[in-house]
């Protein structure tokens, strides 16, 4: 089986100049943990995840060293509003890892497992985003395929 058999083709995306407030709203309202970031030609240039946004609430290693590692986490939560004023370009991972539509499902799975991703963008030969595939999409497809094969073996 190949990625194009199970990928989602209608993908919500972000642009580098998009404010994090808009991206966070899309993520929260649609239960998404991240969005591919594309340029004006729909070419994949990165990925922004919830953890990228939340990362900016935590102190840097230098900050921890200066303050003996003591932090007021409740006060840090108050900084979330300021983080939402940033743009996708401020927090995104550039050069996102991707697969192509003709990638075998288990190869795509191995890429996701190796990078600790739950989903991965699918691009065409020109680097344009054509979809996204998740671990759940792959697992469901393999489970369904296995059940169909099992039913055929039972009927024989």
The pair of three-digit structure tokens given for residue 154, joined into one six-digit string: 């039972």
Q: Residue 38: which H helix or E strand, with range?
A: strand 34-38
pLDDT at residue 1 is higher than 70? yes
Q: 3-155: which CATH number, 3.30.930.10, 3.50.50.60, 3.10.580.10, 2.40.37.10?
A: 3.10.580.10
Q: What is the mean pLDDT of residues 93-118?
A: 94
- Across the chain, what does the average pLDDT equal? 85
Q: pLDDT class for 111, splitting at 50, 70, 90?
A: very high
Choice among 5-14, 22-31, 37-46, 59-68 with the minimum mean pLDDT: 59-68
pLDDT at 127: 95
Q: In the structure, what pLDDT confidence band is assigned to residue 145 with cuts at 50, 70 and 90?
A: confident
Burial group, residue 35, by CB count within 10 angstroms (0-12, 13-18, 19+): buried
Between 144 and 43, residue with greater pLDDT: 43
Of 7-11, 75-79, 113-117, which gets the smallest average pLDDT?
75-79
Q: Domain boundaries in the chain?
A: 3-155
- The 10s digit of each residue's pLDDT in 39-61 is 999 999 999 998 888 776 655 55
């Amino acid at each position: 089986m190949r990625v194009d058999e199970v990928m989602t083709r209608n993908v919500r995306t972000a642009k580098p100049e998009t404010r994090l407030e808009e991206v966070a709203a899309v993520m929260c309202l649609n239960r998404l943990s991240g969005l591919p970031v594309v340029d004006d030609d729909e070419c994949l240039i990165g990925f922004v995840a919830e953890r990228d946004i939340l990362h900016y609430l935590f102190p840097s290693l230098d900050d921890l060293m200066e303050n003996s590692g003591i932090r007021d986490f409740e006060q840090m939560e108050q900084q979330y509003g300021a983080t939402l004023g940033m743009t996708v370009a401020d927090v995104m991972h550039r050069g996102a890892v991707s697969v192509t539509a003709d990638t075998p499902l288990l190869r795509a799975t191995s890429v996701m497992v190796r990078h600790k991703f739950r989903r991965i963008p699918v691009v065409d030969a020109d680097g344009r985003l054509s979809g996204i595939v998740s671990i759940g999409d792959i697992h469901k497809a393999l489970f369904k395929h296995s059940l169909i094969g099992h039913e055929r073996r039972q009927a024989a």
